[in-house]
Structure 1
């Protein structure tokens, strides 16, 4: 989610019962690229969390929506400021305030145009992952319904207003680790596997027992010497967890 340059209150949907995903300990040399060597990790089963935009989806659907209905120039101006003088929440709120289109029109466009990565259905059936997103229930769940997939979703909400859409964030508490509201609070408490691609995934990924990463998240982890496994689609994730 959100490939910015380096530098809320909705109830979660009921959690479906999911199979246990046995933990594997990533053991890799510092700065190693690609799939590291793996060894079994004893202990409780891991939960599996998936970022949505750019991870489940082929493109960042929030960026797609802003380009179609909002202000792309504003998006370009704000992206480089995230982590400098703007939080990610502040960026998202400003960008979606530029959208004045009716809710039904935007949702219809999203269902028609947002593409998901191969392997989502199989991964959902085998492991029942939790989707955790800096985006919105209202734009995620219609795509899952289109795909015939039912998953728990931890995300923000949005209210479509004629003068500009208003974001309702799931959690506004500042994280003790990164200093701004982030996803770590939604995944903490038990061992977990994290799958992500961008800025919003950094803090939650760093606390995971196993990480699958691509794009900006992969570059961030490499810069910090944190082991991870690359993925191209969600079949890769499912195969690695088998």
Structure 2
């Protein structure tokens, strides 16, 4: 019998051609967000703290968010990859330290039904805030702990495949049997001696 694969895939900049969260912030946040983001990428600021400081600078409506999501494109080959994995019986999970609010809109736009784990945005009288249903108090680095999601979901009889491109993908690569990496994640894997396969889009993975 062929080996069963389980795919755990980052969203921003991996499933999509752009980092949607960064696009949202750059478009709707007042000056100052770049410094907040730099501290997050350096690991000196958690996702929760980064989000709350950034949301304090945001001037965005729900309609703005929907328009932004509608303008996003998927990485070439992702719909075909999702269809191939389903046909082969390989589960696919999107694991994101971004937000389900735009992830769901983008997947719906492209007619895709892929399960995902992510943070949530909440709009209130004083502006936007963040909910983190997959937060790991033992670490606290990310809002959605991808490592915990993988540990809770994985099947010991399957080969775990991780696909990503950035900072929040560093921890989960240690749990994967096979890693596809690009961008800063590929650079991290090289520095740490973590075996990986480079990719540009999902045609490289099918």
Instruction: State the TM bucket, normalised to the shorter chain.
Output: 0.7 to 0.9
Cα 1:21–1:69 shift into 2, 3 Å: farther
Cross-structure match for 2:189: 221
Cross-structure match for 1:234: 202
* CA distance, structure 2, for counterparts of residue 21 and residue 97 of structure 1: 50
Cross-structure match for 1:52: 11
Structure 1, unaligned runs of 5 or more: 1-19, 23-44
- Report the Cα offset of residue 162 of structure 1: 4.7
Cross-structure match for 2:20: 61
Cα 1:136–1:21 shift into 2, 3 Å: farther
2:161 to 178, 193, 196: 193
1:202 to 160, 170, 181: 170
Cross-structure match for 1:75: 33
- The higher relative CO (CA closer than 8 Å, separation ≥ 6) is in 1
Cross-structure match for 1:100: 59
Query: What TM-score comes out, normalization by structure 1 length?
Result: 0.74
* CA distance, structure 2, for counterparts of residue 213 and residue 21 of structure 1: 24
Q: What are the superposed Cα offsets for residues 203-229 of structure 1, whole Å, 9 maximum, x if unpaired?
A: 011211100000010000100011101
Point out 4+ residue stretches in structure 1 off by more than 6 angstroms: none
Report if aligned partners of 1:21, 1:47 keep a CA contact under 8 Å in 2. Answer: no
- Report the Cα offset of residue 93 of structure 1: 2.8
Summarize the alignment of residues 1-242 of structure 1 with structure 2, pairs less than 5 Å apart. 22=3, 45-71=4-30, 73-82=31-40, 83-111=42-70, 113-128=71-86, 129-175=92-138, 180-181=141-142, 182-188=145-151, 189-190=154-155, 191-238=159-206
What is the aligned length?
193
Cα 1:109–1:162 shift into 2, 3 Å: farther
- Report the Cα offset of residue 175 of structure 1: 4.7
Name the SS of the counterpart of 2:13 in structure 1. Answer: helix
- Report the Cα offset of residue 172 of structure 1: 2.3
Cα 1:142–1:180 shift into 2, 3 Å: same
Name the SS of the counterpart of 1:52 in structure 2. Answer: coil
Report if aligned partners of 2:107, 2:113 keep a CA contact under 8 Å in 1. Answer: yes
- Report the Cα offset of residue 163 of structure 1: 2.6
Report if aligned partners of 1:197, 1:216 keep a CA contact under 8 Å in 2. Answer: yes
RMSD after superposition: 2.0
Name the SS of the counterpart of 2:141 in structure 1. Answer: coil
Structure 2, unaligned runs of 5 or more: 87-91
Query: What TM-score comes out, normalization by structure 2 length?
Result: 0.86
Cα 1:52–1:75 shift into 2, 3 Å: same
